[in-house]
Amino acid sequence: MRPQLTSPDAHSIASPSSPSSAISASDRRLNALVRHLVDASPAMDSQNLKDTVSASPTSGFHADSVFAHVVRAPEDPILGVTVAYNKDPSPVKLNLGVGAYRTEEGKPLVLNVVRRAEQQIVNDRARVKEYLPIVGLADFNKLSAKLILGADSPAIQENRVTTVECLSGTGSLRVGGEFLARHYHQRTIYIPQPTWGNHPKVFTIAGLSVKTYRYYDPATRGLNFQGLLEDLGSAPSGAIVLLHACAHNPTGVDPTVQQWEQIRQLMRSKALLPFFDSAYQGFASGSLDADAQSVRMFVADGGECLVAQSYAKNMGLYGERVGALSIVCKTADIASRVESQVKLVVRPMYSNPPIHGASIVATILKDRDMYNEWTIELKAMADRIISMRHQLFDALRAKGTPGDWSHIIKQIGMFTFTGLNSEQVAFMTREYHIYMTSDGRISMAGLSTRTIPHLTDAIHAAVTGVV
Ligand code: PLA
């Protein structure tokens, strides 16, 4: 029925059968506009206007929007690189920004073992989609603690580890940070300089105060070990220290085992609380155990620590958002009280975590055959990244590009911290359509044999032509 101007519906475009209380907010805004236009131009009836005015979110109501003052935020320094890349129509464009594994063909990879696990999950009619408990999937939590701390970890055997499934590495850091802000006596967290760009934001929002410790020496393109020891040595007793368990992002520079041991002694002597970020277990060396060594050294001494784990990279579960926060405590009783408080952090934040990713991980970790298949696929990813390092290094040497590029093969993990400055990066993006973060970090996992010559040409032009 077409409403007439004179009818009681003249100021409403809701159909007569729909009660006005049920109309949506956008319908209400549309009605207001129609009312305004009808009043201004009596020749038009409301149906005409309804046909010409669309309720799409882009229609212009800005003048009276309660959000009119909102200023546009800048894109994220890492994820924004992908946004810019997606807009570039060039056929030679290359995204080396975000740390996401690509095959030799430049395609995202879903691991075979993940497909198998998913198939098994889908075929199991007993599986339901009920809410998980606040702490997540119990099996997943147990197996995750075992994966990072080691199957024979006394801390696990003594039940003094609480593990909570969280939304990937980021969510684990966020929940751990907020737990500390609420219940730990020292609210300062020291993060390495530089570090993953999201760390300061995550911890600040969690309620901690963020300070930095020296980590990287641009002159040697290696660890500033002296600076690190000095800064942690002068940190207030009890301060929290964020440590990258392996494959430091963005520098690709990790302490040696001996250096870890010195860091451990210093931190324990000053009662500094270690918070490990383990986002690349297995990606650095290809071995899950070797990449967990730093964490295990700190757990072996009987002291307390936190660990945030991510399955984004090592199982390729980026978008499933699956990870875990483990808090290693002195006693089982303390661990269970800590867990009760972590639940109070999670419940008002997102209530409880998603089920699918955690089910995939648990299925793989609990089946010996699938676990073995995973380690083989993981090693293949790590090896391909290492091979990209050698190919890029060889190509730059063959081309005679000025500079010592040996850091490309020395650095560890997903990224090379090239040493290119932001002007050189901007030049490479503008002239060669190569996308990377402005600090000169490139994701080695985004490269392939086919794209190495293009990157080599770009780096050569950048270092020879751009100041
Ligand atoms: N911690 C470190 C050190 C990381 O590098 C990343 C991801 C995370 C935590 C969080 O990962 P997750 O939440 O997906 O598990 N860093 C990426 C992606 C790979 C990103 O910035 O979100 C990077 O390109 O640096």
> CA torsion sign, 217 to 203 to 208 to 187?
negative
Ligand 1 and 324: CB distance under 6 A: no
CB 363 within 8 A of CB 120: yes
Average pLDDT of span 400-419: 94
Which residue CA neighbors atom 15 of ligand 1 most closely? 169
Q: Which of 313, 374, 405, 439 is catalytic?
A: 313
DSSP for 123-145? H-TT---PPPPTT--HHHHHHHH
Phi–psi pair at 249, nearest 5 degrees: -110, 125
Query: How much is the mean pLDDT over the chain?
Result: 89
> How far is it, in rounded angstroms, from Cα 48 to Cα 38?
10
Which residue CA neighbors atom 19 of ligand 1 most closely? 99
Ligand 1 and 435: CB distance under 6 A: no
DSSP for 31-89? HHHHHHHHHH-TTS-HHHHHHHS---TTS--GGG-TTTTPPPPPPPTTHHHHHHHHH--
- The pTM assigned to this predicted structure is 0.86
What per-residue confidence (pLDDT) applies to 451? 96
Q: Which of 196, 231, 374, 439 is catalytic?
A: 196
DSSP 446: G
What per-residue confidence (pLDDT) applies to 260? 98
Structural element, H or E, at residue 442: strand 441-443
CB 145 within 8 A of CB 162: no
Would you say residue 467 has pLDDT above 70?
Answer: no
DSSP for 377-408? HHHHHHHHHHHHHHHHHHHHHHHT-SS--THH
> How far is it, in rounded angstroms, from Cα 437 to Cα 20?
51
> Tell me: the pLDDT tens digits for 158-216?
999 999 999 999 999 999 999 999 999 999 999 999 999 999 999 999 999 999 999 99
Centre of ligand 1 from the C-alpha of residue 249, in Å: 8
Q: Which of 254, 277, 291, 439 is catalytic?
A: 277
Would you say residue 154 has pLDDT above 80?
Answer: yes
Would you say residue 156 has pLDDT above 70?
Answer: yes
CB 277 within 8 A of CB 242: yes
Ligand 1 and 325: CB distance under 6 A: no
366 flagged as catalytic: no
Average pLDDT of span 39-64: 49
Would you place residue 61 in the very low, low, confident or very high pLDDT band (cuts 50, 70, 90)?
A: low
Which residue CA neighbors atom 9 of ligand 1 most closely? 169
Ligand 1 and 170: CB distance under 6 A: yes
27 flagged as catalytic: no
Would you place residue 466 in the very low, low, confident or very high pLDDT band (cuts 50, 70, 90)?
A: low
What per-residue confidence (pLDDT) applies to 333? 98
DSSP 242: E
Would you say residue 57 has pLDDT above 60?
Answer: no
> How far is it, in rounded angstroms, from Cα 216 to Cα 221?
7
Ligand 1 and 169: CB distance under 6 A: yes
DSSP for 334-378? HHHHHHHHHHHHHHHHHSS--SHHHHHHHHHHH-HHHHHHHHHHH
277 flagged as catalytic: yes
Ligand 1 and 326: CB distance under 6 A: no
Average pLDDT of span 386-403: 96
Centre of ligand 1 from the C-alpha of residue 19, in Å: 48
Ligand 1 and 99: CB distance under 6 A: yes
The terminus-to-terminus CA distance of the chain in angstroms comes to 71
Residue among 85, 144, 196, 244 to mutate when testing ligand 1 (max atoms within 8 A of CB): 196
What per-residue confidence (pLDDT) applies to 172? 98
Residue predicted with more confidence, 13 or 135: 135
Would you place residue 415 in the very low, low, confident or very high pLDDT band (cuts 50, 70, 90)?
A: very high
> Tell me: the pLDDT tens digits for 82-138?
999 999 999 999 999 999 999 999 999 999 999 999 999 999 999 999 999 999 999
Residues near 12 by beta carbon (within 8 Å), at least 6 away in sequence = 3, 20, 23, 31
Instruction: Name the percent of the chain lying above pLDDT 90.
Output: 85
Phi–psi pair at 112, nearest 5 degrees: -55, -40
Average pLDDT of span 144-161: 97
Would you say residue 453 has pLDDT above 50?
Answer: yes
**Nearest one of 113, 139, 148, 100 to 309, comparing CA atoms:** 148
Of 51-65, 288-302, 374-388, the one with minimum mean pLDDT is 51-65
CB 266 within 8 A of CB 243: no
> How far is it, in rounded angstroms, from Cα 377 to Cα 379?
5
Residue among 198, 254, 313, 441 to mutate when testing ligand 1 (max atoms within 8 A of CB): 198
